[in-house]
Amino acid sequence: MPHPDAGNNGGPTDATTDGNVAYGRKPFKRSKSHFADRITADGRDGWPAEAGRYRLVASRACPWASRAVISRRLLGLEDAISLAITDPIQDDRSWRFTLDPGGRDPVLGIRFLSEAYDARETDYPGGVSVPAIVDVPSGQLVTNDFQQITLDFATEWTALHRPGAPDLYPEPLREEIDIVMAGVYRDVNNGVYRAGFATEQSEYDAAFRDLFRRLDLLSERLLDRRYLVGDTLTEADIRLFTTLVRFDAVYHGHFKCNRFKLAEDRVLWAYARDLFQTPGFGDTVDFHHIKHHYYRVHTGINPTGVVPAGPDLSGWLTPHHREELGGRPFGDGTPPGPVPPAEEVPPSGRPEHLLTGS
């Protein structure tokens, strides 16, 4: 999610003075990632996959960044690539490290993610987006290609995966996974933003129609299968989950995606709870960050900055019964271990504490 340029989050297209107020007041457009270098096993782009060399910069508020956080955890890459979590509240300089002591990232030593962008390309004119991977020795941004980062985690970082890591992008299923992900991206991941940032009724109506048509199709697909493709977790499930987990908290009201709440669709609600309760998914979600980012940053949509107290989050922990459909979440592998203490979501962001309005 960049700010305030189009970038990965799909905000307005002014990267200069409009800041948070511009959200919802300019035409929606999602641009391609400007920095699309890849970190690979053979280092063909000049960036070999090496333990300890790179730092993943993410926001727990951002669905695109959350993909990378979930993938990293499922694959056990915590020791291979370190994690920086930004403040969910951006200012006009975008993502900040104000959650860290002294307002600086303790590894990179910078106050703003934009400094890593500037180290890579002086006077870069575009938006500053997460997820971003930074080369620690040079302090330079390597990539902000949100579509490719997780695929490379699954396929190029295999030598650094934990024992028992799942295959999130199995080669025999890649064609089907890609087809499913394309529809999810266009109509759901991107669709909620098309609706939320629409500046004309016709734009909103089209996005709303596409979003709920796709959700209906996904609900039908998941009626008798536990996961989107095959009988194990894949990249496709990660990408759908990061939108579903935000749906009732922000997209239903803030983005006017209100034909129904997620909790009102029996299949999708059970599917989302199944994933939330799977190690590696819900234990990365911070509802406090999610709500405060959307409602306080998008002042063009919510000018008061008031953050709603609801919804009640306790439902995320209720039985889902999806295990009755079979499936093996991690295939022949195993669940990830406990969350590293330094990466645990604070109590205010977890549903068991029900501090939705704090």
Q: What is the pLDDT of residues 330-345, one digit of tens each?
A: 999 999 999 999 999 9
Residue 237 CA to residue 6 CA, distance in Å, equals 25
Do 54-160 and 171-349 fold alike per CATH?
no
Q: How confident is the model at residue 17 (pLDDT cuts 50, 70, 90)?
A: very low
End-to-end CA distance of the chain: 23
What is 54-160's CATH number, 3.40.50.720, 3.40.50.1820, 3.40.50.620, 3.40.30.10? 3.40.30.10
User: Among residues 23, 54, 62, 294, which one is catalytic?
Assistant: 62
Question: Is 169 part of the annotated catalytic residue set?
Answer: no
Domain borders along the chain are 54-160, 171-349
Name the CATH topology of 171-349. Glutathione S-transferase Yfyf (Class Pi); Chain A, domain 2 (1.20.1050)
How much is the pLDDT for 16?
32
Structure tokens at 335: 């669940």
Would you say residue 95 has pLDDT above 60?
yes
Q: Which residues pair with 55 in a beta bridge?
A: 82, 134
Can you give the pLDDT at residue 19? 55
Known catalytic residue: 193?
A: yes
Find the catalytic residue in 193, 227, 251, 295: 193
Sequence-separated (6 or more) residues with CB below 8 Å from residue 172: none
* Averaged pLDDT, 68-79: 98
Q: Is 47 annotated as a binding residue?
A: no
pLDDT tier, 147 (very low <50, low <70, confident <90, very high otherwise): very high
- The stretch 24-45 carries a mean pLDDT of 76
Determine the pLDDT at residue 2.
41
- 1: confidence class by pLDDT, cuts 50, 70, 90: low
Q: Tens of pLDDT along 283-337?
A: 999 999 999 999 999 999 999 999 999 999 999 999 999 999 999 999 999 999 9
What whole-number distance in Å separates Cα of residue 291 and Cα of residue 61?
A: 8
| Nearest in space to 112 (alpha carbons), one of 123, 98, 126, 102 | 98
